[in-house]
Structure 1
């Protein structure tokens, strides 16, 4: 049986290794990254490619903090009265 080795490139998230939903196989690694960066929830920042997963590691890799950390807590809605002399 004859076989042939084929080398291809598939972009993956630099944080978790997840592949884009349409993980087409490309001859050129730069094309693989470019195509993944065009996916709606994928982000390319410099040499970093990050999928759309929302957790603190991915959010930090995208250059921001986790949205969960930005949600107000009950303490944010507390009113403290102080006595005026």
Structure 2
């Protein structure tokens, strides 16, 4: 069974992808994420961190704000860092 998938696995992971192909794949994924939920952005988590700091300083009132460690965008940013 595993040997039947070996050519497909080699085609996907054996050598680097061309840049434009990976970019088209990521752009298509982001369009579908935007259409059905929300886009995948790094700035979304940074905005949450900034809102959290400003709320802590008393400059902004955001009772609906999630803590950064509970917000998915923040978790993605920690993974990038």
TM-score with structure 1 length normalisation? 0.28
The structure with more helix, counted as a fraction of residues: 2
- Bigger RCO (CA 8 Å, 6+ sep): 2
The structure with more strand, counted as a fraction of residues: 1
Structure exhibiting the larger radius of gyration computed from Cα positions: 1
TM-score with structure 2 length normalisation? 0.28
